Amino acid sequence: MARVSSDRSRDVVLDSSFLMAVMERPTTWQDDITQAMGAHSFVLLQSVKTELERISTEGSRRARFASLGLELVRRWGIPVRPDKGGKPDDEMISFALLDRAAVATTDSELVSRLRALGLKTITLRDGRVSV
């Protein structure tokens, strides 16, 4: 399991796009994040969980990956943190700014916004984690 407990650990906020991507194309993403970041803890914001729950009811192939992402969150005991109920991207940016957290996403628009703010971004390129 990639969660590492430590007083010096850094939160990694998971976006729905990232969870769905790693469910669709399994990789060594957990090990890659540990190697790149060291001690870390995954977190999910309530607005992202709500988004995954909505997508999971669509009855599509994408819905299956959203369901698998939710199952991973449950199985690993990833904490779901409350937020203000805004748009998931805005909530993740706010959380990252306040908590100095990294954000794991495959959403190119969100990646651009995060990088413009100088926030640590984790994404996938050619099936590998890129920080």
- What is the distance of C-alpha 45 from the center of its chain? 9
DSSP class of 58: S
Residues 61, 25 contacting (CB under 8 angstroms): no
Question: Residue 3 pLDDT more than 80?
Answer: no
pLDDT at 1: 37
Tell me, what amino acid is at 71? E
Strand partners, 14: 104
User: 110 lies in a domain?
Assistant: yes
pLDDT digits (tens, 9 = 90+) for 60-97: 999 999 999 999 999 999 999 999 999 999 999 999 99
Residue 4 predicted with pLDDT over 90: no
* Residue 4 within a domain: no
Tell me the CATH number at 21: 3.40.50.1010
Residue 9 pLDDT grade (very low, low, confident, very high; cuts 50, 70, 90): low
The tokens of 22 are what? Answer: 């790693």
CB 66 within 8 A of CB 20: yes
Domain annotation covers residue 82: yes
* Total count of domains within the chain: 1
Q: Is residue 115 part of a domain?
A: yes
Q: What is the mean pLDDT of the chain?
A: 91
pTM as predicted: 0.89
Residues 104, 15 contacting (CB under 8 angstroms): yes
Per-residue confidence band for 28, with pLDDT thresholds at 50, 70 and 90: confident
Q: Which helix (H) or strand (E) holds 103?
A: strand 102-104
Give the range among 16-20, 30-34, 50-54, 114-118 with minimum mean pLDDT: 30-34
